[in-house]
Amino acid sequence: MESNTATEVADHLARTFSQVVFIDIPQSYPPSTHVTCSYTLTAAFQPNPRDWVGIFKVGWTTTKDYHTFVWVEPCIDVVGEQTVTRQAFFKDYYLPKDEIEFYQFCYVDSTGQVRGASTPFCFRSPAEQSLEISPDDDLLVITTQDQVEQSLREKAEMQKELDQIRAENETLKSALLREQQQAAGLKGQNEQKEKENAELATELDQTKQQIKNLRSSLQQQLKENDSLKEEMVIQMTKQMEIQQDSVTERRERSSSRTSEEKYDRAVQKINQLKDEREKLKEAIEAQSEEISKLNAKVREGERELFKAKDGIQLIEVDLQSSRKEKERLAAELQRLQSLTYNVDKMQRENQDLQRRLSVQETQQSPSDDLKFQCQTLTRQLQETQAKLAAEKEETRNAKRRNEYLEAEMQQIRDQLESVCKALDGEKRKSSKFELQILEVNEVLADKNIAIDERESTINRKDNQLTLLTQEKEELARENQTLKETIQDLRRLYTEPPTTPAEPLYLQPDDDAPPASTHVYETIGPEDEESLVCRHCRESFPGITQDELDQHEQCHRVCPFCTMICDDMDQATFEDHVYSH
């Protein structure tokens, strides 16, 4: 496949270079004289006023290697497709002064493409030109035996030098082949690294998208937490209002309310507080679940962050290896440059050898084999220079790719730092929410304690009511018994005596009290039980339960810590209640 490509390239160059044909080009021009060259434009080529003809040293690589140039004459009289012959005129001041090097004319169009090239020529003095003898000229050359021997010795030395050049050429070919193999291997490695870098870039883009999704979900969760917090504040405000209402209701209670109504209201309030406590527990559980989800997402983000950091470390390792490869390529380029210098030196020696051979063409026929080998060496040198230029261009491209990757790595590091900062902020917010939940749990615990105390108080009141009811029933039974006894005694004293012979008067006992006195003392009221205030612990004998409840309502008591705050004003009391 490579041979087919080379053949196509050679055919394309042949078609391109044959569009302009230089004619009547001699082998040499005399120095310090004006030079005129003739060329023919084929029918397939359309000239342009911006075309130019330049003098190039043999072995040129680009159109910028010209020594001098002139603009072409405008082709105004060209009609249709026909060949046209034109001339280019070069002044002697701008011509090369080197008599050793070989040059050629090249026709370059306005786009920078070479459309035609002449055969090589040089600039020599007339004395050197007189030594040249054409093979077609019938001239008689008379030489001496010494001259013949000297020319043979020079020929033998030149043959030795040519053998050395051939050996060096073989060595250079083998070195060039090795360099080409190494360059192919490096090219494959560079392609593989580019693929890996592309895959890493894709993974980094995916990581960025995941981080964006995490950020959006975290923002949504924060909004939900803010709404939950507002609902908690509203619930706490409602509870405080309910407590204030309960305090106000306590103050506004009338003494005519019975203990059963108080009990029912207290039960309703306890049920209401229980419902609110359940709601708060549910809200706290929901918020705890949200916080656990947020923590899971934060941990997932941290894992993704660690993966991204590992990917960055891998990319840094690849960059270090790329730098090492770049240094090795630089060393190889230096070595290739030294080889290029040696090739240039060999080219100069080859040209010197060609010049010396051309000088000796007067005494013996030129060697076609040597000319062919020299031309082959020249082509190989040109190919080597082109390959070196391509390697330099690939090295520059690799440097640019490395710089681009380093810039992208720096940008990714900055983004990861910002993501780490955002994650830290989310962690701090989560810790704040946890503290708020702990505070709410403490408030709920205090409320549970207050509810339990109220339930115990209500139970104590129920027990007291039961005891009072039982005592009331016993007293009622005792009163009924006493009433019956009094009725019996009254009947006994009001009835007349049945037998008059027997006196109804009895002798009183000096030790025992009169019966009437004993009877009325039993009828009298017994000692009543003293009632005690459950707040100030003061005893009140001879009062009813309603009067005791009215006394207890006169106290200003904190609903949370059951502290008596009678000596506080309303504002201080409210501040004390809100502090819980």
Query: CATH topology for 2-123?
Result: Immunoglobulin-like (2.60.40)
SS3 label, residue 290: helix
Q: Could you tell me which of 169, 193, 190, 109 has the C-alpha nearest to residue 393? A: 190
* Predicted local confidence at residue 382, as pLDDT: 77
- Residue 357 near residue 151 (C-beta atoms within 8 A): no
How many angstroms separate the CA atoms of 385 and 379, rounded? Answer: 10
Distance CA 496, CA 284 (A): 88
Dist. CA 550–CA 361, nearest whole Å: 147
User: Would you state the pLDDT for residue 81?
Assistant: 61
Joined together, the tokens standing for residue 401 give 């790719």
Looking at residue 2, its pLDDT comes to 44
The residue among 36, 32, 33, 30 whose CA lies nearest residue 123 is 30
In order, the DSSP letters of 200-228 are HHHHHHHHHHHHHHHHHHHHHHHHHHHHH
Q: What does the alpha-carbon distance between residue 107 and residue 561 come to, in Å, rounded to a whole number? A: 109
Backbone φ/ψ region at 542: left (φ over 0), alpha (ψ -120 to 50), beta: left
Best mean pLDDT range from 23-37, 190-204, 237-251, 349-363: 23-37
Mean pLDDT score, 353-364: 64
Distance CA(76)–CA(47), nearest Å, equals: 10
Q: CA angle, 26 as apex, 23 and 27 as ends, to 5°?
A: 135
Give the per-residue pLDDT at 528. Answer: 53
Look at 413 and 527; give whichever has higher pLDDT: 413
User: If you average pLDDT over every residue of the chain, what do you get?
Assistant: 77
The answer to whether 270 touches 454, Cβ cutoff 8 Å, is yes
Tokens of 81: 């497709």
In the chain, the percentage of residues whose pLDDT exceeds 70 is: 79
Q: How many CB atoms lie within 10 A of CB 507?
A: 6
Nearest Cα to Cα of residue 108 among 28, 150, 50, 190: 50
State the CB neighbour count (10 A cutoff) for residue 555.
14
pLDDT in tens, 255-314: 445 556 666 777 777 788 888 878 888 888 887 788 888 888 778 877 877 887 787 778
Return the pLDDT at 466. Answer: 81
Amino acid at 435: L
Q: Token digits for 573?
A: 């009391």
Domain ranges of the chain: 2-123
Query: In this predicted model, which residue has the larger pLDDT, 24 or 509?
Result: 24
Tell me which H or E stretch contains 107: strand 103-108
Name the CA radius of gyration of the chain, rounded. 61
Window from 125-129, 297-301, 529-533 with minimum mean pLDDT? 125-129
**Is the pLDDT score of 197 beyond 60?**
yes
CA distances for 407 relative to 115, 311, 517, angstroms: 44, 16, 120
Pick 306 or 338 by higher pLDDT. Answer: 306
Per-residue pLDDT for 11 more than 80?
A: no
Q: Give pLDDT, residue 556.
A: 84
Measured CA to CA, the distance from residue 576 to residue 580 in angstroms comes to: 7
Q: What is the mean pLDDT of residues 68-92?
A: 81
CA 169 – CA 358 distance, rounded (Å): 22
